[in-house]
Amino acid sequence: MLALIPGKTLVLGNSTHPRAFLAVVRSLGRLGLDVSVLVNEGDHGSGLSSRYVRNVYRLNSSKLGRADWVTNLLGIVANERFEAVIPTNDAVVIPLQEHRNLLKGLEDRFYLVNDKAYRVAHNKQQSRRLAERLRIPVAEGNLCSSADEVRALADRYGYPLILKPLHSFTIDNITSRQMVRVLRSAREIERAFEGISPPAVVEQFFCGHGCGVEFLAAGGRMLYSFQHERVHEPLQGGGSSYRKSVELHPDLLQAAKSIVEALEYTGVGMVEFKLDRETGRYIFIEINARFWGSLPLAVAAGADFPAMLYRMLWRGETGFSRVYRRNLYCRNETRDAVWFVQNLRADKSDPTLMTRPILSVLAESWNVVMGRERWDMLDLRDPRPALSELTQLAGLAWQKLLGSNQPG
């Protein structure tokens, strides 16, 4: 077998999760590494235009999740002598974790978490049970397999309810995400399992703001930690479009440390919570055993997780400065435009929608003036991805405009 080339790194990802993918590419490129990427055939995501991408490799997306996809990837890794292979989203993490036995002889080149951490983090019921065992607060709820069981919980807790599929993705359905749903009425319960494989975790709604404690760990010991707080949250759930870096909350940090220790975790991840600022109460939401969507905020604030991960796994470093910038904001510019319209139209009197007053939203422009706001895709040192995304969005908007002007 040909010897590996130190510093030669392959980042795996795709255009459906471009922000974490691009943040990893930029971070490793700024570290001085030789960065190539592997994506699906036909993927023309904005991140591929980054100045830090040396080469682009492509595999047939129809094989994604299958053992032969992993085998083909291994051929590229061996032939090109990559030192490090770093997956950035579930679509590539899951096949590698599930077919880990195929990596023998090359396993030390791949960043993967241990099997216990993977199994717990990718199953919402197992992660919930772990939190309960560690005496970390969770929302009241249960595992449900039918609409009747969900209705019984609605009778007990009232509306809304949160329905969480056990897995966002599975090895058999690697490209179609099963989404968390907010059930607000009996009618919505009738359609609760459309597109979701039962059973699912159904929980009482907890009114609070989303927070994430991100970390780098080795053997269950947390080496570095960072916290963000959601500012703009999707009204029906999902990833935030605007967030800020904040001080580490002692209780949330301790809960995250307990989970990391119990899983003997090595690598990067995020433990997600909801926090009620008025009462101080919080609940555990889930564990992300991979890079997360708001990663650009952490990197911009000085918590450069991709660089720290590389330095730990492939250079043996364990000492990292814990300093990062607080009250730095970061915006997913495309998703936030959608959020703005939804927030404008939403019922501001409904506390479960997590809306923001329009004056408060407009006042956020002051963050730009004060130099404490960043955009996920925009980096003046690497402008092409932002320009590429802007061009794609303009093209889609133009097509929509032309379509709306067609005679009926």
Q: What is the pLDDT of residue 172?
A: 83
Residues counted in the chain:
408
Residue 304 lies in a domain: yes
Domain of 90, in residue numbers: 5-112
From 300, 316, 333, give the residue that closes a domain. 333
Tally of structural domains, the chain = 3
Domain check: are 197 and 152 in the same one? yes
Q: List CB contacts of 209: < 8 A, sequence separation 6 or more.
A: 229, 230, 233, 274, 275, 276, 277, 354
Angle subtended by helix axes 67-80 and 90-98, to nearest 10: 90
Residue 94 in contact with residue 65, Cβ under 8 Å?
A: yes
Residue 329 lies in a domain: yes
Give the predicted TM-score (pTM) of the model.
0.92
Residue 405 lies in a domain: no
Q: What is the pLDDT of residue 399?
A: 67
How far is the C-alpha of 347 from the C-alpha of 370, rounded, in Å?
31
Domain check: are 195 and 215 in the same one? no
Q: Where are the beta strands (DSSP E) in 290-397?
A: 329-331, 373-375
Cα dist. 166→48, 95, 302 in Å? Answer: 32, 17, 34
> What value, to the nearest 5°, has the Cα angle with vertex 117 and ends 299 and 169?
80
Domain check: are 86 and 155 in the same one? no
Residue 273 in contact with residue 255, Cβ under 8 Å?
A: yes
Count CB atoms within 10 A of the CB of residue 254.
14
Domain check: are 13 and 96 in the same one? yes
Angle subtended by helix axes 18-30 and 305-315, to nearest 10: 60
CATH code assigned at 44: 3.40.50.20
How far is the C-alpha of 369 from the C-alpha of 364, rounded, in Å?
9
Domain check: are 198 and 224 in the same one? no
Residue 374 lies in a domain: no
Q: What is the pLDDT of residue 236?
A: 72
Residue 213 in contact with residue 256, Cβ under 8 Å?
A: yes
CATH code assigned at 185: 3.30.1490.20
Indicate the DSSP class of residue 170: B
Residue 187 lies in a domain: yes
Domain check: are 218 and 321 in the same one? yes
Domain check: are 43 and 9 in the same one? yes
CATH code assigned at 304: 3.30.470.20
How far is the C-alpha of 250 from the C-alpha of 208, rounded, in Å?
17
Domain check: are 214 and 155 in the same one? no
* Phi, psi for residue 63 in degrees, rounded to 5: -95, 0
Domain check: are 246 and 312 in the same one? yes
Q: List CB contacts of 218: < 8 A, sequence separation 6 or more.
A: 266, 312, 318
Domain check: are 95 and 192 in the same one? no
From 189, 204, 219, give the residue that closes a domain. 204
Q: Mean pLDDT, 10 residues at a time, over the chain (408 residues)?
A: 82 82 96 95 86 94 85 95 96 94 93 98 97 98 94 94 92 84 92 89 94 98 97 83 96 98 98 94 97 96 98 95 95 88 86 85 93 93 88 68 55
How far is the C-alpha of 266 from the C-alpha of 111, rounded, in Å?
10
From 314, 333, 352, give the residue that closes a domain. 333
Domain check: are 145 and 103 in the same one? no
Q: What is the pLDDT of residue 389?
A: 80
Q: What is the pLDDT of residue 347?
A: 84
